[in-house]
Amino acid sequence: MGETRGSRGENGRYHSNFRLKEREIILRWIRAGASGSVVGLAGAGKSNLIGYLCREQDIEEIEGLDGRSVVLVPVDLNDVPDNHIATFYRMILRSFHEVRWQFGGGLQETLSELYRQHRAVTDPFVLQSVLRELLLHLDDQYMQVVLVLDRFDDFCKLAEQAMANTLKGLRDSFKDTLCFLVGMRQEAAYVSTNDKLGELRELVDAHICWVGPMSENDTRHMLQQQAEQLGRGLEEEQVAELWRLTGGYPALVRVASDWWRLEGYLQEISVWEDILRHMPSLQHRLREIWDGIPPDEQNLLLEIQRIWLQTAVVNMSNEEICQSFAHLKQQQSYLFRTLATKGLCVCQPDQTWHLFSALFADFVAANVERGYEEVCLDEETSEIYQGKRPLSDLSNLERSVLTFFLENPRVKLTKDELIMNAWPKEVVEGENVSDESLYQVISALRRKIEPLRSKKPRYIVTWHGRGYQFFPNGQPNGEG
């Protein structure tokens, strides 16, 4: 008799409609046999959603591509022992072994036996062959496997390109049987090691589900559940205020809820916002959220908040406020849609926009300087601008290097490529240009385009030991 599923107590923390919108998006991918990325900024609950899906009882009833039965197989990327391809194969086999209860009785023993027999094997070809034979067997059983790879962006920093090639090759060979669900904090385009993904990137960024703030219903359930653990009940007025302050962002909800359970319930509601906004733990969570947002989106959030700050100073009418937002949206409609998709700002019925939470709005207004604007080349005049500011103080060599960067945005360029394409031909042919000469030019450019208080370069990011990568709008989080 085969093994049965263990306790589902972990999912008991969530109600049946938990993250319903996001789950429906992901399940549509699975039904179509498609791969995709689940993306969420720090503290958004991306991993909780992925974990919920992997434990969800109803997943067993979902029909995959052409009516196939579906099994989600999470591969633990939290503690990868090394970057050898053989280790990666063994990790995948172990993952099948660990969720064997999801398969029929006959397959359960097969999966356990395969793992036990090969967990010490180090020959990549043997392990790859075993994995392919397993997928062939699952194909014969008319099954569809979803390999779930959370923290995939962190994994890419360690992984060799051969690992990504392996995944892409398996997918190409078993298109009806295998697809991937990867979890990341940034879209693949913003992952500094995305060159390691190779053609796998085409799979994982073709479909993206952003995980942001929870719905009001999810937030209420989380708050009430945590309050009940201490035998306390939250009044409706208290729930409404915590929802207004946190906007349902999981990391903010947890900090605010923990504070309320231990001491906040003794405080008047009128002082909650002032207390919470000065808490170091909450400021840290807000900073993590902010640092993960691309600079062009940061700028728009600043503009939105600037309009609301102006209303208090200038006493703008409702019509003037609406006109300000209409003008801003006309200029940056795509970014508005992006921020709405991420849940970072919300459109009101009167077509004005608000940041998703009062605490986040306070943070943006009080602590974040305006700093990041797109660096671009005016092809008619050959003038380089940062936002509306012409970069007129560039030396000839600085201009040449920056122009080459602009011609190759987000591409990792070696030091030799930069020197060969940016230095005058007669200089390159007549003498060896040192790495130090290139570094001096890069340093000068950074002084002219990076914000003064930026802790890490956002525009010109170091490709350690090899060269540089240029982000015209700045890179989320900077280098490191």
Instruction: Give the pLDDT of residue 455.
Output: 63
Instruction: Give the pLDDT of residue 81.
Output: 86
- Integer Cα distance of 213 and 260 in angstroms: 20
The pLDDT confidence band at residue 370, using thresholds 50, 70 and 90, is: very low
The pLDDT confidence band at residue 9, using thresholds 50, 70 and 90, is: very low
- pLDDT exceeds cutoff 90 at 75: yes
User: Do 427 and 435 touch, CB atoms closer than 8 A?
Assistant: no
Most confident of 198-202, 230-234, 266-270: 266-270
Instruction: Give the pLDDT of residue 350.
Output: 93
- pLDDT exceeds cutoff 60 at 3: no
Instruction: Give the pLDDT of residue 8.
Output: 42
- pLDDT exceeds cutoff 60 at 329: yes
- pLDDT exceeds cutoff 70 at 261: yes
Instruction: Give the pLDDT of residue 454.
Output: 59
Instruction: Give the pLDDT of residue 371.
Output: 56
Q: Which residue has the higher pLDDT, 375 or 7?
A: 375
Kind and range of the H or E element at 144? strand 143-149
- pLDDT exceeds cutoff 70 at 367: no
Instruction: Give the pLDDT of residue 7.
Output: 38
Most confident of 48-62, 117-131, 183-197, 373-387: 117-131
- Integer Cα distance of 206 and 179 in angstroms: 12
Average pLDDT in the 214-229 region?
89
Residue 479: Cβ-neighbour burial (10 angstroms; 0-12, 13-18, 19+): middle
Structural domains in the chain plus CATH codes: 9-210 (3.40.50.300), 216-290 (no CATH), 293-367 (1.10.10), 391-470 (1.10.10.10)
- Integer Cα distance of 233 and 436 in angstroms: 64
Instruction: List the one residue out of 95, 98, 11, 96 whose CA is nearest residue 58.
Output: 11
Most confident of 70-84, 361-375, 443-457: 70-84
Average pLDDT in the 147-156 region?
90
- Integer Cα distance of 95 and 16 in angstroms: 26
- pTM for this entry: 0.76
pLDDT tens digits, residue range 392-437? 778 899 999 999 999 999 999 999 999 989 988 877 765 678 888 8
The pLDDT confidence band at residue 276, using thresholds 50, 70 and 90, is: very high
The pLDDT confidence band at residue 6, using thresholds 50, 70 and 90, is: very low
| Ramachandran area for residue 395 (φ above 0: left; ψ -120 to 50: alpha; else beta) | beta
Average pLDDT in the 235-242 region?
94
Q: Which two tokens stand for residue 148?
A: 């779930």
> Lowest-confidence range among 287-296, 331-340, 354-363?
287-296
- Integer Cα distance of 103 and 86 in angstroms: 25
Average pLDDT in the 309-315 region?
73
Pairing mode of beta strands 353-355, 345-347: antiparallel
Mean of per-residue pLDDT scores for the chain: 87
pLDDT tens digits, residue range 134-144? 999 999 999 99
Query: pLDDT > 90: what percent of the chain?
Result: 56
Measured CA distances, 293 to 154, 185, 279, 332 (Å): 17, 10, 22, 16
Instruction: Give the pLDDT of residue 417.
Output: 93
207: number of Cβ within 10 Å: 17
Instruction: Give the pLDDT of residue 59.
Output: 59
Query: Which amino acid is located at 383 in the chain?
Result: E
Average pLDDT in the 44-72 region?
83
124's CB contacts (< 8 A; 6+ apart) are: 84, 85, 86, 89
Average pLDDT in the 280-289 region?
92
> Lowest-confidence range among 55-59, 279-283, 438-442?
55-59
CA gyration radius for the chain? 26
Helices within 368-423 (DSSP H only): 396-407, 415-422
